[in-house]
Amino acid sequence: MPTPPPVRTSLLLVATTALLAACASGPVRRVSKPSAQIQQLTVRADGSWDVELRLQNYSSIPMRFDRVRLALAASDQAAGDIVATPALDIGPASADVVAVSVQPSTAAKLAVAEALASQRGVAYTLKGEIAATPEEKSQQTFDVEYRSSLSPAPGLPGVLR
């Protein structure tokens, strides 16, 4: 069998070394800013709201969501604060939901009631911070802001999604 030329042998050695080095480093462990959004808002008979808050972990590693403090505005009306200590572990690139009760301001109650009565959507904003602990790291506080809208859920009176 003929001996390969020295250049080909050198290239083969470099390629093999690069392949082994790439395997040794393992997956990238990236911490990304999480987000929060309202998955569902239910108006209760006493005027308070039950909010299902979706917490999204965009990191490549699991994170424990320790604290959420967000100012909620509905139809440009300050509604109140969403405050929770979910102590919820969320896997990489995953989400989970936490239920929170809110005592909304009168202006926000009226805006949501009007939207429900007329069967139209309502815009909302969440602004504040989420404290989360990435796996094997210390707790970090992330500033978050999210804008979207909710629409009446067909067949579910008092429910916006």
Q: What is the DSSP letter of 152?
A: B
Query: Domain for residue 138, yes or no?
Result: yes
pTM for the full model?
Answer: 0.81
Does a structural domain hold residue 13?
Answer: no
Taking alpha carbons only, the member of 25, 13, 52, 1 closest to residue 156 is: 52
List the CATH number of the domain containing 46.
Answer: 2.60.40
Residue 9 lies in a domain: no
Domain count, the chain: 1
**Going residue by residue through the chain (161 aa), what tens digit of pLDDT does each one get?**
665 566 666 666 666 665 555 555 667 789 999 999 999 999 999 999 999 999 999 999 999 999 999 999 999 999 999 999 999 999 999 999 999 999 999 999 999 999 999 999 999 999 999 999 999 899 999 999 999 999 999 999 999 99
Q: Is 2 inside a domain boundary?
A: no
Report if residue 133 sits inside a domain.
yes
Q: How many residues does the chain have?
A: 161
* Residue 4 included in any domain: no
Range of the domain at 88: 35-151
Per the listing, tokens 């909304």 go with 104
Beta-bridged to residue 131, according to DSSP, are: 67, 141
Q: Is residue 142 part of a domain?
A: yes
